[in-house]
Structure 1
Amino acid sequence: MQGSYSVIKVVPRSVEDVRFLQGLLQEHTFKGIDVWKPPSRVDSPVAVSVAPEILPVLRGLLTERGLEPKITIPDVQKEIDKQTIHRILQLTDGVTFDYSQYHKLDEINAWTKNITSVYSSLASMFQITTSYEGRPVYAIKISSTNSSASKPIFFFDGGIHAREWISPATMMYMTNQLLEQYGKDVQVTRMVNEFDWYIVPVFNVDGYDYTWTNDRMWRKTRTKHGICRGVDPNRNWDFEWCKQGASKDPCSDTYCGPSPFSEPVVKGVADFIKGLGSDVKAYIDFHSYSEVWMSPWGYTRDLPKDFDMQDKGSIQAVDALKSVYGTTYDHGSIANVLYTASGSSVDWTYGVLGIKYSYAVELRDKGEFGFLLPADQIIPTGQETFKALVALAEFVFNNP
């Protein structure tokens, strides 16, 4: 599908520029455009993947407006090929799991089974729900025996948007670190002893599988609603559902669905988290890309009553993250640092369940590669994000 698509970036310099871009890029104005990062505010880069026949037209309209479009990825398909071809060359021996490469869903499921077997004294695997197409959604529980029966819970998931491959890759890396470093690293050991950890490596299993078999840039689930397939699983949660930052068009990448929790994977995970009760003290939904650590709200730019403490947690996380490779993350509420999005997981976990420390994290990078982050950045991303995760866990534990 992507062929010789290109990704272009443009930076709006005024409110009028933002409005112009929003009108220009609204759904169905152009066919052959995939919005990677939508126009939201002044000085925030906008990124779109553009079909070759549309590129000169779009560049002309932008230039006429006085904007300066820049091509950041000349050939999207070439970058996709780099990820998959390099991976095939690297995985010929099949001896050990390679955290430095992206993996298909069946390989991730096999890894889940294997790692919980290797670390059976700490970890267990279970099916959290079933997808629309009948695939199991697996989760991992990590719990040490050196603690009381009832502990606070830290829950995190990845891959809610199918094309964001760095997210499941980072989930796996961090899970391995929690297990491997237990009993070796003092801080990690303390955090595993103090929390029960629940991890969903791949949330949107149907969509993720589809990115490997059909369309690398697919974002949504694979349910059938009207003439188009898929719902944005991060617009489908039953809190401020389908308001600003979501679409009622079934063909849109931000389609909220015909009703809240219409998506089996969303309802299944939500029901499970709700069933854990008040023990859940922190929730993180890992995405890509933009390098931002965000707290509620997504549906409005107004700040919630707990924002100061939430943001202090974000600061602890991003400071720890920066200490590894110098990667600088922004932080703040979702609607203020990224864009408005209603019906999101984080707004639901905070607004409905009252999980104060609810976060959405956009991993590497800031847009050079976007959703096509090269595999050689998986390990560095995992290392710095794990440092942030442990720092945040310590903050949450000390500031209930």
Structure 2
Amino acid sequence: MVIQSVDSETEYPPIFEADADDIADDIAGDYFAQQTIWDISKLSNTTYHADYHPLHEIEDFMEDLAITYPGIVQFDYIGHTGEGREMLAMRLSKPTSLNLTGEDAHASNVRKMGFVITGAQHAREWIATSTALYLAHSLLADSAEDFALSSWLDYFDFYIIPVPNPDGYVYTWENDRLWYKNRQNIGPAEKCTGIDMNRNWGYKWKAESRLPSISNATDEFALSRPGKGVDADPCSTWYPGHRPFEAPEVNNIANYIQTLPNLSAFIDLRSYGQMLSIPFSHSCKKTPKDAEDQLEAALRAVNAIKQAHGTVFTIGSLCEQLYRASGNVVDYMYKKAGIKYAYSVHLRDTGTYGFNLPAEWIRPVGEETAAMINSIMGFITKIKRTPPLS
């Protein structure tokens, strides 16, 4: 069996699941046999969320979650990167323990819904990956803990891709902390490396866009002044590729999404700017037909964020809040994957630290993002008795 690639020129091996017993040797060899230094039995006291981690420690943490919470965590291998690394998604699922009747049964549609979360497509946005891992932990922790989301596993199955850009992420640790794109070889005639993954999705790819027009390419939030159209220069930070889904990581995720049932929500975690954004990115003139529901859910979510730690987020369309850009993942997930509640979330801060957010902020960012997720799920299900968060 071969899953047909979204990029019709390429075929990839089938996606398959692996349990905790199988994955140890496949991800990082003997590394997983080593004793870990963090206790993850509780969300509140683990030291893991006190620091950023290189890729092998992220994979170690994911494996530890599977061992600590058996029967809930599975791993999906979803393809290879340009440099040959394996891409992993965490599947968090359990049989519902609810005996749903009446209004609650109707509200939940009985069938569990799917919720997808992606970490940093842009390699330098470390807080996005750290937050995706915090959310995975919060979905497994004891429901009595503050900011735990595990009660929602009765209503949702979660699919979390903490590191959508493994090659780029490793490069930010070993070479250039502010590297943005993936690390694929563009072609023998090109001297530059990488594609902007978040301009390579196959909806309105390379449509009319505005590129930021300031020279300092390290400050995405400040890049709001329009420049020329889509940049065809492979050396550009915002290079969208020769064709949609050219980035193998984008193609792998798109293929994976096609296999997932009953998807209701998608969150693309990013940094920075403190913004919760709905589609569209490719146009500031078009409004999603579901914008009223999307914005109402977003308004409740940013209120939940503020209640957690006082952090203020703004809401609006991606185009209005950031800049016009085609080939965006949120536009694709809404229009092509049919996910109604598709959002981009630019996490803390608003520019003081930017992409170099101090590690001591990882936990509060994770906590307020858990509050946001809790609010969105409550809105989607319309269930009044939502799991409480402190």
- TM tier, shorter chain? 0.7 to 0.9
Distance 1:337 1:190 in 2: 33
Which amino acid letter does the alignment assign opposite residue 251 of structure 1?
C
What amino acid does structure 2 have at the position aligned with 1:152?
M
Greater helix percent: which structure?
1
After TM superposition, the structure 1 stretch with the greater mean CA deviation from structure 2, 141-150 or 281-290, is 141-150
Q: What secondary structure sits across from 2:140 in the alignment?
A: helix
Partner of 2:172: 211
Per the alignment, residue 112 of structure 2 pairs with 151
1:229 corresponds to: 193
**Whole-angstrom CA distance in 1 between matches of 2:381 and 2:38:** 38
Q: Deviations over 1:218-264 (max 9, x none)?
A: 00000122221000000000000012144221111111011100011
Letter in 1 for 2:264: K
Residue type matched to 1:123 in 2? V
Q: Which has the higher contact order (CA 8 A, sep 6+)?
A: 2
Q: CA offset at residue 121 of structure 1?
A: 2.4
Provide, for residues 190-221 of structure 1, a one-character-per-residue CA deviation record: whole Å limited to 9, x for no partner.
Answer: 42110001101110000000000000000000
The TM-score normalised by the length of structure 1 is 0.73
1:242 aligns with 2:206: yes
Deviations 1:147-199 (A, max 9, x none): 59952100111011000000111111111111013476798344211000110
Residue-by-residue CA offset, 1:84-106 (whole Å, 9 max, x unaligned)? xxxxxxxx993545211000011
Percent of aligned pairs with the same residue?
37
Structure 1: which amino acid aligns with 2:37?
G
Q: Please, which of 170, 179, 186 is the counterpart of residue 131 of structure 2?
A: 170
Equivalent position SS for 2:49: coil
CA contact under 8 A between 1:157 and 1:286: conserved in structure 2?
yes
Match of 1:325 among 309, 315, 318: 309
Matched residue pairs, number? 307
Amino acid at match of 1:269: I
Cα distance in 1 for residues equivalent to 2:347 and 2:36: 30
- Report the 3-state secondary structure (helix = DSSP H, G, I; strand = E; otherwise coil) of the residue aligned with 1:99: helix
Secondary structure of 1:281's aligned partner: strand
- C-alpha separation between the residues in 1 aligned to 2:76 and 2:53? 20
Alpha-carbon contact 1:239-1:344 (below 8 Å) kept: yes
User: Which of residues 214, 224, 239 in structure 2 aligns to 1:255?
Assistant: 239
Cα distance in 1, alignment partners of residues 272 and 333 from structure 2: 22
TM-score (norm 2): 0.75
Determine the C-alpha separation between the residues in 2 that align with 1:255 and 1:283.
24
Distance 1:221 1:381 in 2: 25
The one of 291, 299, 321 aligned to 1:315 = 299
Superposed counterparts of 1:229-308, under 5 Å? 229-243=193-207, 244-245=209-210, 246-277=230-261, 279-301=262-284, 302-308=286-292
Decide which of 140, 155, 158 is 1:179's aligned counterpart. Answer: 140
Q: CA shift at 1:125, angstroms?
A: 2.0
Pairwise CA RMSD: 2.0
Q: Decide whether the 8 Å contact of 1:183 with 1:189 is kept in 2.
A: no
- Over 3 Å counting, the alpha-carbon distance change for 1:194 and 1:201 in structure 2 is same
Once the two structures are superposed, residues 7-43 of structure 1 have per-residue CA deviations (whole angstroms, 9 ceiling, x without a partner) of xxxxxxxxxxxxxxxxxxxxxxxxxxxxxxxxxxxxx
Aligned to 1:124: 74
Unpaired segments of 5 or more residues in structure 1? 1-91
Tell me the equivalent position of 2:21: none
